[in-house]
Structure 1
Amino acid sequence: MRATNLITVINSLIEQRVPTFLWGAPGIGKSSIVKQIADERNIGFIDLRLALMDPTDLKGIPFYDKDSHTALWAPPAFLPRTGEGILFLDELNSAAPSVQASAYQLILDRKVGEYELPDGWAIVAAGNREGDRGVTYRMPSPLANRFVHFEMDVHVEDWRLWAYKKEIDEKVISYISYRSEHLFTFDAKSDVKSFATPRSWEYVNKILKSRVSNELLLDTISGAVGREVAVSFLAFAKVMHKLPDINTILDNGSGEYSDEVDVLYALSTGLVSAYLKEGSDERLDNLLSYTMELKSEFAVMIVQDLQRNGVRMEHSAVFKEWVKKFAYLLA
């Protein structure tokens, strides 16, 4: 299931306190979308790694109650007491079976011993699939039956929408738009240590913002996404100097045009990113006017990217003309 659809479904299941499990390959953003849901709902988020715990850790520790002359249990501080939020059991199936078993009651009955999960908290878990070369244990059937299960897919358009919102470097967004097959190159049958995933492209974004010298850039990016992809990405990045001035296009509605596909991908991303950072009605009209003479598939891609990022165009007279010209591509 696509990330955008998963977000919708998980939001609905959270309302009903239905435990949810996300399966998927490493690095595709399972943890990120759960954190995103919590942030957008403005609720708490606790990331609990059962793989780092012993079977008794969830229950807490016993202490002697002198009034009742019995042993009571002090629940662990990492479990929530009040409010609303998501208790996220990340990499749940990486925990030993005995630790997974200790979570049965928490997931189904929302309590462990004397501790009860507050009504405002929902449980979401995630893990890699058994064939993903990760450290995983087969999930016991009683535990599996306590969840609604989804498998998360990698989808380029979902990633691009996320990347614009996170202000990922334009070169990275442009490259993935151009070579979408390089967003995710993980092969469970291969022993390579570095491969491209949405997570490792986020590392590339940080590498580009770091002080790594040009001489070391190839080796550094190779460590994130693999040598072949890194070579291809850096070759693509060199076309950025061929771009017409982005601000001139947005301020005047005019600029040079190119027939080179890699340049057009970079230009399209550059225009969208610049407008999202500093947009206005006048700049929107100028941008739409410029795209009227652009290759049709790139004109449509620019407008659709803007719309996916919440830009409204219905009020623009230029947009009405734009629709007349490109309506046949929007059907």
Structure 2
Amino acid sequence: MTLEEAKILSKKIMESNEIPLLIGHFGVGKTDIIKEIAKETNRKLIILVLSQMEPGDLIGLPSRENNKTVFLAPDWWPEDENTIIFLDEINRSHRSIRNAIMQLLIDKRIHNHILPKGTWIVASMNPPDEEYDQVDLITDPAFLSRFFILEVSPDTTEWINWAKNNHLPNEIIEFIEKNPEFLHTSNYISLKTTLKPSPRSWYKLGNVLKNLTEDEKRQYGYQLASGILGPEAAKIFIENITSNIPTAREIIINGKIPKNLELHDANSLILRIIDFLTNLTEDEAKNLINNVETISKNLLSVSSIVPKDVFFSLVRLLSELSNEPGFKGLICDKILEKISI
């Protein structure tokens, strides 16, 4: 996503008391995004470069009080809620402070020190293809599930404007204008592909969606949802809330078949039916076995409004599922027989 998109979503996420994780190569402007948000919201910005911190720097030093060991608040600890804590290079943090980082992310506290209510937290890291030392933290699902992943990749125009504002030499600016392919590489593996939906991720997504307008949901919904659910679930979810395509059950059981579909919507319609049949349970198949005529008739109607190759992907699935034992295989076999006549 562009820097401007990342800035808008980061602010929305933090306003919802959730935590964005900005992923992008060194120098793309991740820190500048957070500095701008802090300035616009009149919040103090505390930047913690975790790769350079020792345990005592992050969690504070131990002290003796009434014959007990207590930890003093670290010198960076915020005094009030009007603060943004920026956890920079979070993937390069030392193993010895990971537990403290998790406690900060989950409980908004370290030891007996609790963050002022309303404190915002944001994190950043470089993508996994960087040549310097990477640690296991970036692939830990329990860790990644605490964030909304925002993968930042500035377009050429954005970067050139930034370069001019930061007084980079004209030779560099002119070269990138003529050769934008050399601005940055984009061959790293997206961490979003490791994300899977969970009760926690749906809860977190709901927190942020409540703060988006309908226009914002249409414009940024997929980028937001894919950063917490993963691309596959996000695509289906966003299509569900932004399009008028009926559910698979409405289509094949109730005959609610739309007309004049765009190619994108036709693909989405077939994908919904494929997903429905793939995940059909034995009990559901048993309940639907007497509706084969209706289902087959509705599927034939669907075949008339979608491209032939798109519909054929559904036929191939029915052929595969017809070999399964039980009612699921039986109903798919009967449907296949009806629509092939």
TM-score between both structures, scaled by the size of structure 1? 0.51
Matched, 1:141 2:141: yes
User: Which consecutive unaligned segments of at least 5 residues does structure 1 have?
Assistant: 189-331
CA distances 1:46-91 after superposition (whole Å, capped 9, x unpaired): 111222233454332232334xx43332111112122412211111
Please say if 1:79 is aligned against 2:77: yes
One-letter amino acid matched to 1:106: L
Deviations 1:114-138 (A, max 9, x none): 1111224211111112222122212
Runs (4+) of structure 1 exceeding 3 A deviation are 54-57, 163-175, 185-188
Q: Is the 8 A contact 1:93 1:137 kept in 2?
A: yes
1:124 matched to 2:101? The reply is no
Aligned equivalents of 2:7, 2:26: Cα separation in 1: 18
Amino acid at match of 2:61: I
Residue 1 of structure 2 is aligned to residue 17 of structure 1: no
CA distance in 2, matches of 1:148, 1:187: 21
Please state how far the C-alpha of 1:141 moved relative to its aligned partner. Answer: 2.6
Partner residue in 1 for 2:44: 44
Hey, what's the Cα distance between the residues in 2 that align with 1:14 and 1:187? 29
Question: Which is richer in helix?
Answer: 2
For the residue of structure 2 that corresponds to 1:46, the secondary structure is strand
Partner residue in 1 for 2:32: 32
- Pair 52,70 (structure 1): closer, same or farther in 2 beyond 3 Å: same
Distance 2:185 2:46 in 1: 30
Distance, in Å, in 2 between the alignment partners of 1:138 and 1:29 is 25
Structure 1 partner of 2:105:
107
Partners of 2:102 and 2:56 in 1: how far apart? 13
Aligned residues: 186
Residue pair 1:100, 1:143 contacting (<8 A) in 2 also: no
Q: For the residues of structure 2 that align with 1:144 and 1:6, how far apart are their CA atoms?
A: 18
Q: Distance in 2 between matches of 1:120 and 1:164?
A: 35
Which has the higher mean CA deviation after the structures are superposed, 153-162 or 124-133?
153-162
Shift of 1:144: 1.5
Cα RMSD (Å): 2.4
Alignment check: 8 A CA contact 1:91 1:128 kept: yes
Using the TM superposition, give the Cα deviation of residue 167 of structure 1 relative to its aligned residue in structure 2, in angstroms: 4.8
Name the CA distance, whole Å, in 1 between partners of 2:40 and 2:159: 17
What TM-score does the superposition give when structure 2 sets the normalisation length? Answer: 0.49
Structure 2 CA distance, aligned partners of 1:18 and 1:51?
A: 23
2:184 alignment partner, SS class: coil
Q: Secondary structure at the match of 2:59?
A: coil
Compared with structure 1, are the counterparts of its residues 170 and 125 closer, same or farther at alpha carbon in structure 2 (3 Å cutoff)? same
d(CA) in 1 for partners of 2:57, 2:141: 22
User: Where does residue 313 of structure 1 map in the other structure?
Assistant: none
Structure 1 residues 57 and 167, CA, compared in 2 at 3 Å: closer, same or farther?
closer
* Cα separation, 2, equivalents of 1:121 and 1:5: 22
Tell me the secondary structure at the aligned position of residue 119 of structure 1.
coil
CA distance in 1, matches of 2:151, 2:2: 9
Corresponding residue number in structure 2 for 1:162? 162
Counterpart of 1:131 in 2: which secondary structure?
coil
Identity %: 28
Q: Are residues 42 and 169 of structure 1, via their aligned partners in 2, closer, same or farther at CA, if it must alter by over 3 Å?
A: farther
User: Is the Cα–Cα contact under 8 Å of residues 62 and 72 in structure 1 kept in the other structure?
Assistant: yes
Q: d(CA) in 1 for partners of 2:161 and 2:7?
A: 14
